[in-house]
Amino acid sequence: MIPPPRIVIAGGGSAGWMTACLMAKRWGHLGAEVTLVEAPDIATIGVGEGSTPSLKRLFEILGIAEADWMPACDATYKASIRFVGWSPASEVADYSHPFTTQIDVHTEDAFVNNCRNRRLGYDVPTRPDAFLLNGVLAAEGKAPLAPANFPFRMEYGYHFDSAKLGLFLRAHAIARGVTHLSRRIVRCELAESGDIAALVTDRGEPIAGDWFIDCSGFSALLMRGTLGVPFHSFSDNLFNDAAVVLPTPPGEAIPVETVSTALSSGWAWSIPLTTRFGNGYVYSRDHLGPEQAEAELRRHLGVAADGAEARHLTFTPGQLARHWERNCLAVGLAHGFVEPLEATALHLVLNTVDLFVDHLERGGFTARHRDAFNAVITGRVERVRDYIVAHYKLNTRDDSDYWRANRVNTHLSAPLLEILDVWFRRGDLAARLGAMEGLSHFQSLSWHCLLAGYGAFPPLGAEQRDDVDFHRDRDVARFLGGCAMNFPSHADALGLGAMAC
Ligand SMILES: Cc1cc2nc3c(=O)[nH]c(=O)nc-3n(C[C@H](O)[C@H](O)[C@H](O)COP(=O)(O)OP(=O)(O)OC[C@H]3O[C@@H](n4cnc5c(N)ncnc54)[C@H](O)[C@@H]3O)c2cc1C
C-alpha cells in the first residue's frame, strides 16, 4: 500500500501530536511527509489529564518506555475511576469502575451472577471493586504493575499533565521527521473537485497536501469551517456544557484512581499527578452560573484551593455528522466531544487514527470505505455517549433540579433503552450486549459495574426464586487479596517511596 505522500495536520494539541506520532510511525518509512501547523497564539484546551488503557497502547506502538515519558509528564498510574455521591438513595456512597484486566476472567462470573441474583431480590454483594483486581489495588493504593511472577497481563490507564504530554509527543514526532510549523491558518484553498488543496497561513504561504487532518479543537476549522460538515449536538441527552478548573497541591499519598464526586449541578474530578491534583467541576449552565460553580468547587476542595487561579471553559457535547469528508479527517475535539466523565476523548483519538490508517492501507480511498469508516466512528462515539447518559439517568439524588431533570430525561437512544430494559427485566445482559451491533469501549463488565454501582436493583426480597446459585464474594476477596499482595505501592512504583512515607 502507498500512503498519501503529504499529510498536513491542522492543530498541535494532544490530538494533533498523537496523530503526527502515529502517522510518522506507520507511514514515515514509506516516504510519507507529515507536517503539523499550529497557531502560536491559540492555546490548546489545557485539560484532559486522565486516560483509558489506550494511552498505554499508544506508547507501546511508539516504542516509548514508561520510564521515559511518565516522569516528563508528572504521570501516575490509574487503575480505576471512583464515583462518589451519585446514588445516595440506593445507599451506595461510592463505587469504582476499575479497568478490566486479564485475571478478572476468574471473578467476572461471580460478579455477574451476583448482579443477577441481586436483581432477583437476594441480598448478595455487588460492589464491583470487590470483584476486580484493579479495584482491590486502588483501594490498597498499589500500582497496577504486576510482579515478575504474575502470569496475567495488567491493563491500566494514566493521569498526566496534558501540556507536558503534548510537548513530549511533539519532541518525539519532530525527532521522527514531522515538520512543525508555528503559524495561524487563515483559510483553505480548494481544488476544483472540492477537496482541500492547501492551508493558507497568516504569512500568506500555502501549505499543500494530499490529506488533511483537522485537529484544530472545538473550532473544527477544516471540517465545519471549510467543508461545512454539520455538527450533531448531544445537548438533549447530556446537560453539562461548562467546566471550571482549579489545581491543588499534591497529597502525601498519590491515589491510583480518578475520583468523580457528584455536586449540585454536575460533578467534580480529582486527578492525582506527581506534582499537583488536577481538579475541575463539569456543570450545566442552565442550572448554575460560572461564579456559583467556582464557589462550589472551592468549597468542595477546601483550603487546598486557597489562592489557586480558576480557569473557565465551555463546550457543546456532540459530534460531526461525518468524521471523514473528502480528503479530510477530523480527530480530537474537532470531531466532537461527549463529556469528560470516563475520560474517553484520547481513547477515541487513538481509535479514529488506527481505524483510518487501516482503511487507507486496505486501499480504501473509495466512498464505500469512507462511509463504512464514518458509520463505525459515529457508532463508537454514540455508545460512549450512551454509557455516560446512563450515569445521569440512574442517579438517585434529590438535592437539585439538575439531578431530578437528568433522572426524568427521556432522550435515551434505542440501544440504551434496550440495555436498561434487559437489566430491569432481569435478563441476560452479557448475552444481549454481545449480540448488539458495533464495537463499544464499554462492554458487559463495565455495564454491570455501572448498574450495580448505582444500586439499580429491586428492593431486597421483592421476588426470590429458589433455583439460583449464589456466589458470595468471600472467596473472591480472598483470591484477589492474595493476588494483590506482591504488587508495589503506587509511591514505590513512581520512585517516590521515600517522599510518601
Ligand atoms: C473539561 C474537559 C475535561 C476533559 N478531560 C479529559 C480527560 O480526562 N481525558 C481525556 O481523554 N480527554 C479529556 N478531555 C478532552 C481533551 O482535553 C481533548 O480531547 C484533548 O486535549 C485533545 O484536544 P485537541 O488536541 O483536539 O484540541 P486542542 O487542545 O484545543 O488543540 C487545538 C489546536 O488547534 C490549533 N488551532 C486552532 N485554530 C487554529 C488556526 N486557525 N491555525 C492554526 N492552528 C489552530 C491550536 O493552536 C491548538 O494547537 C476533556 C475536555 C474538557 C473540555
The CA-based diameter of the chain, rounded to the nearest angstrom, is 78
Is the minimum distance from the CB of 201 to ligand 1 under 6 angstroms?
A: no
For residue 93, give the C-alpha cell: 456512597
Is the minimum distance from the CB of 333 to ligand 1 under 6 angstroms?
A: yes
What angle separates helix 414-424 from helix 367-393, to the nearest 10 degrees?
50
pTM for this entry: 0.95
- Closest ligand 1 atom to the C-alpha of 332? 26
- pLDDT band of residue 500 (cuts 50, 70, 90) is very low
Q: Which residue lies with its CA nearest to atom 31 of ligand 1?
A: 13
> Distance from first CA to last CA of the chain, Å, rounded?
55
Distance 11 CA to ligand 1 centre (A): 9
Is the minimum distance from the CB of 219 to ligand 1 under 6 angstroms?
A: yes
Q: Which of 255-264, 427-436, 442-451 has the lowest mean pLDDT?
A: 427-436
Does pLDDT of 310 surpass 50? Answer: yes
Across the range 44-55, mean pLDDT stands at 94
CA dist., res. 9 & res. 35, Å (int): 6
CA dist., res. 258 & res. 48, Å (int): 12
25 catalytically annotated: no
Does pLDDT of 364 surpass 70? Answer: no
Does pLDDT of 496 surpass 90? Answer: no
Angle at CA of residue 88, ends 82 and 90, nearest 5°: 100
Q: What is the pLDDT of residue 464?
A: 61
Could you tell me which of 404, 386, 385 has the C-alpha nearest to residue 395?
404
CA dist., res. 253 & res. 139, Å (int): 12
CA dist., res. 500 & res. 495, Å (int): 10
**Per-residue exposure over 428-461, b if at least 16 CB sit within 10 Å of its own CB, e if not:** ebbebbeeeeeebbbebbbbbbbbbbbbbbeeee
